[in-house]
Amino acid sequence: MKTVNVHEAKTQFSKLLAKVHDGEEVIICKAGVPWAKLTPFTEDKKRIPGIAIGNVTDAFFEPLPESELEKWE
């Protein structure tokens, strides 16, 4: 993981993007304190509708016991 200051990040942005594209993470610091992290972009996995069909029992729809409800108040 590479760490750079803001000035270096501004002047070397294209090179830093190339490193990130190759899988490296880059931390951008201001006055020695980390402020941001550049990471490679990844596509979110598509959600599969209906994945719980057949896995949810009728017990899921029953009211919670009073002892459990009290914990949420």
Q: How many domains does the chain have?
A: 1
* Per-residue pLDDT tens digits for 16-53: 999 999 999 999 999 999 999 999 998 888 888 888 88
**Domain enclosing residue 47, as ranges:** 2-72
Q: Report pLDDT for 37.
A: 97
pLDDT at 22: 94
> Beta 33-38 vs 2-5: how paired, if at all?
unpaired
Tell me what pLDDT residue 54 has: 83
